[in-house]
């Protein structure tokens, strides 16, 4: 049995096997962090239009109360993470790039952890449209990192027919264990969330893809599934980037999403386990998304673990709570393969942030950073899960031939997974080159 399992273990071709660094946090139950005295709540924590504030400075808000409403369909509302007073609405630094209009909330000392806002919903009686609306009202966005509004992902455009909901439980980034813990500790909410998503999107069956380094999660879900549930758990090989949406669809269903296309086009809706578990928890209570599980780890962290962090908590407060060793560190939001580094501790945790990794200052790369010319070793070609030719793309980028990169070498199919940079023995910052090339091309097109 084990042997045949090995052969049948599903995976995509290429990819890499970075050290996973998950053992520090994978076995620790999720713990709650206290409220920071001052929280910073950016109005744009998602892909799409920024939310429109509903509150004024000086106003008192309850934990769970909406503080900003969605600006149209491609947007998401925001709820107060703690009971307190609105101090101000002003520009504040965020993880990605420029400053963003943010609500500053002063939490009341000793504010209760109880959510004081929300109206229970009888989920079973709602139609698909009503469910989508209810999901939007929770302010839910993809918790796996993309921050795409979840109700948009559940709304199938009328020209497409979908049949399968793919549930992404791979969590292939090193260090991150939030989805792992959620699958173990919130199994019932997850299954409830999957049932809701099936109905909201009009899909008939669901497949949960989980990497085989989380056998306990696979077991836990299988145990709780009822025979009549049209939900299957599929073990997939532990390999980066198994959790990439398009690759996972191909691995689980054998369907290939066309270049530049969306999963709808092959009849699939994809959501991440963390997102669906939150839907399963929030929707019946009619509450909004006000906190999320974040893996806080890395060699510089004294008490690594998975923490339930109120959205808007500044990194400085988190680091004070979990303790740290050095005076300076290299801070990464998200996982180390695709996450962004941050320069300011005032940056808050927002909806899409699944991890806070603190690496020691010098060892963000553990060997000297000397960049050599491309020696055409082909390692990057063997690593690229999209089967691009990063070596050639890199050489073109060095000569600023950005258009050729896009037209002849399919630059736009690169999803910046980082495999090529990870393996390159010449330490060429390939992904960075590709990002620059893409943004130059975008500007030229505009």
Partner 1 sequence: MVAKVELKTSPHLRSAPSVDQIMRNVVYALLPIVAFAIYQFGLSVLVLTITVVASCLGTERLFNWLSGKPNTLSDWSAVITGLLLALTLPPAFPLWMGAVAGFTAIAIGKALFGGLGFNVFNPALVGRAFVQAAFPVAISTWTPAFAPGRFMEFIPSTLALPFMKPPAVDDWIATQAVDTFTGATPLAQWKFDGEIVDSWSLFSGMTTGSSGETSALLILACGAYLALRRMMNWQIPAAMLLGAALTALPFWLYAPETYPSPVFVLFSGGLMLGAVFMASDMVASPVTPRGLWIYGLLIGFLTVVIRFWGGLPEGVMYAILLGNAASPLIESISQPRIYGQKN
Interaction with ligand SF4 in 108-147: which residues (CB under 6 A)? none
Grouping H, G, I as helix, E, B as strand and the rest as coil, residue 240 is strand
Q: Does 416 bind ligand SF4 (CB under 6 A)?
A: yes
Report what 146 binds from ligand SF4, partner 1, none; CB cut-off 5-8 Å by kind.
none
C-alpha span between 256 and 83 (Å, rounded): 47
Cα–Cα distances (Å) from 361 to 93, 331, 388, 429, in that order, read 22, 9, 32, 19
Contact indicator for 391, 441 with CB cutoff of 8 Å: no
Contact indicator for 146, 353 with CB cutoff of 8 Å: no
Bridge partner residues of 169 (DSSP): 210
Of 317, 277, 271, the residue nearest 293 (C-alpha)? 277
Which of 66-74, 283-291, 294-302, 424-432 is the region at the interface with ligand SF4 (rule: CB under 6 A)? 424-432
Q: Does 16 bind ligand SF4 (CB under 6 A)?
A: no
User: Between residues 200 and 388, which has the closer beta carbon with respect to ligand SF4?
Assistant: 388
User: Between residues 48 and 418, which has the closer beta carbon with respect to ligand SF4?
Assistant: 418
Q: Which of residues 16-75 bind partner 1 (CB under 8 A)?
A: 16, 18-19
Six-digit token pair at 210?
Answer: 């989980």
C-alpha span between 9 and 435 (Å, rounded): 33
Q: Which of residues 109-148 bind partner 1 (CB under 8 A)?
A: none
Of 75, 73, 60, the residue nearest 117 (C-alpha)? 60
User: Between residues 123 and 388, which has the closer beta carbon with respect to partner 1?
Assistant: 388
Report what 294 binds from partner 1, ligand SF4, none; CB cut-off 5-8 Å by kind.
none
Q: Does 244 bind ligand SF4 (CB under 6 A)?
A: no
User: What is the Cβ-side half-sphere exposure of residue 33, based on CA atoms within 13 angstroms?
Assistant: 33
Instruction: Determine which helix (DSSP H) or strand (DSSP E) holds 356, and give its type and residue range.
Output: strand 355-360
- Nearest distance from C-beta of residue 179 to ligand SF4, angstroms: 21
What radius of gyration do the chain's Cα atoms show? 22
Of 161, 136, 162, the residue nearest 149 (C-alpha)? 136
Which of 39-47, 120-128, 186-194, 328-336 is the region at the interface with partner 1 (rule: CB under 8 A)? 328-336
- Nearest distance from C-beta of residue 419 to ligand SF4, angstroms: 4
- Nearest distance from C-beta of residue 261 to ligand SF4, angstroms: 16
Q: Which of residues 189-248 bind partner 1 (CB under 8 A)?
A: 246-247
The size of the chain, in residues, is: 446
- Among positions 100, 268, 419, 437, the unique one binding ligand SF4 when judged by CB under 6 A: 419
* Cβ neighbours of residue 158 closer than 8 Å, sequence gap 6 or more: none
Q: In what order do the strands lie in the sheet with 52-53?
A: 52-53, 66-69, 78-79
Q: Which of residues 250-309 bind partner 1 (CB under 8 A)?
A: 250, 256-261, 300
Of 365, 314, 403, the residue nearest 94 (C-alpha)? 314
- Among positions 415, 435, 440, 441, the unique one binding ligand SF4 when judged by CB under 6 A: 415
- Nearest distance from C-beta of residue 388 to partner 1, angstroms: 6
- Among positions 122, 228, 366, 443, the unique one binding partner 1 when judged by CB under 8 A: 366
Six-digit token pair at 91?
Answer: 């520009």
Q: Which of residues 353-412 bind ligand SF4 (CB under 6 A)?
A: 374-380, 383-384, 386, 388, 390-391, 394
User: Between residues 83 and 391, which has the closer beta carbon with respect to ligand SF4?
Assistant: 391
Six-digit token pair at 402?
Answer: 């950005």
Of 252, 169, 174, the residue nearest 16 (C-alpha)? 174
User: Between residues 144 and 329, which has the closer beta carbon with respect to ligand SF4?
Assistant: 144
Report what 429 binds from partner 1, ligand SF4, none; CB cut-off 5-8 Å by kind.
partner 1
Q: Which of residues 271-330 bind ligand SF4 (CB under 6 A)?
A: none
- Nearest distance from C-beta of residue 82 to partner 1, angstroms: 24
Query: Given the rule CB under 6 A, which residues bind ligand SF4?
Result: 374-380, 383-384, 386, 388, 390-391, 394, 414-420, 423-426, 428, 430-431, 434
């Amino acid at each position: 049995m084990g042997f045949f399992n090995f052969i049948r273990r599903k995976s995509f071709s290429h990819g890499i096997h970075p050290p996973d660094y998950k053992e520090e946090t994978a076995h620790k139950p999720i713990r709650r962090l206290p409220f920071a005295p001052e929280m910073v709540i950016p109005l744009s924590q998602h892909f799409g239009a920024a939310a429109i504030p509903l509150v004024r400075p000086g106003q008192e808000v309850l934990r769970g109360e909406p503080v900003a409403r969605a600006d149209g369909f491609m947007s998401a509302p925001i709820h107060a993470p703690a009971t307190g007073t609105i101090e101000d609405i002003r520009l504040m630094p965020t993880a990605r790039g420029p400053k963003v209009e943010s609500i500053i909330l002063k939490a009341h000392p000793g504010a209760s952890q109880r959510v004081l806002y929300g109206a229970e919903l009888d989920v079973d009686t709602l139609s698909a449209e009503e469910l989508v609306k209810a999901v939007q009202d929770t302010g839910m966005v993809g918790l796996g990192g993309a921050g795409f509004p979840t109700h948009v992902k559940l709304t199938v455009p009328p020209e497409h027919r979908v049949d399968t909901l793919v549930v992404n439980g791979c969590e292939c980034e090193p260090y991150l264990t939030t989805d792992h813990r959620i699958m173990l500790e919130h199994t019932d909410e997850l299954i409830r969330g999957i049932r809701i998503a099936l109905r909201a999107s009009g899909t008939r069956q669901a497949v949960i893809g989980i990497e085989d380094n989380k056998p306990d999660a696979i077991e836990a879900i299988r145990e709780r599934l009822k025979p009549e549930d049209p939900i299957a758990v599929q073990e997939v090989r532990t390999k980066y980037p198994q959790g990439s949406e398009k690759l996972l669809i191909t691995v689980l269903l054998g369907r290939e999403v066309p270049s530049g296309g969306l999963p709808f086009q092959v009849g699939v809706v994809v959501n991440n386990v963390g997102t669906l578990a939150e839907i399963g928890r929030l929707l019946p209570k009619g509450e909004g998304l006000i906190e999320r599980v974040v893996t806080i780890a890395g060699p510089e962290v004294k008490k690594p673990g998975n923490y339930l962090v109120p959205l808007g908590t500044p990194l400085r407060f988190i680091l004070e709570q979990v303790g740290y060793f050095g005076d300076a560190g290299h801070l990464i939001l998200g996982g180390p393969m695709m996450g962004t580094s941050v320069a300011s501790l005032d940056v808050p945790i927002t909806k899409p942030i699944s991890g806070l990794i603190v690496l020691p200052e010098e060892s963000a790369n553990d060997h000297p950073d000397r960049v050599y010319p491309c020696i055409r070793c082909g390692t990057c070609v063997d690593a690229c899960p999209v089967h691009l030719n990063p070596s050639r793309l890199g050489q073109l980028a060095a000569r600023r031939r950005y258009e050729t990169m896009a037209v002849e070498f399919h630059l736009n199919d690169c999803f910046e997974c980082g495999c090529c940079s990870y393996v390159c023995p010449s330490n060429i910052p390939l992904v960075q080159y590709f990002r620059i090339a893409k943004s130059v091309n975008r500007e030229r097109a505009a």
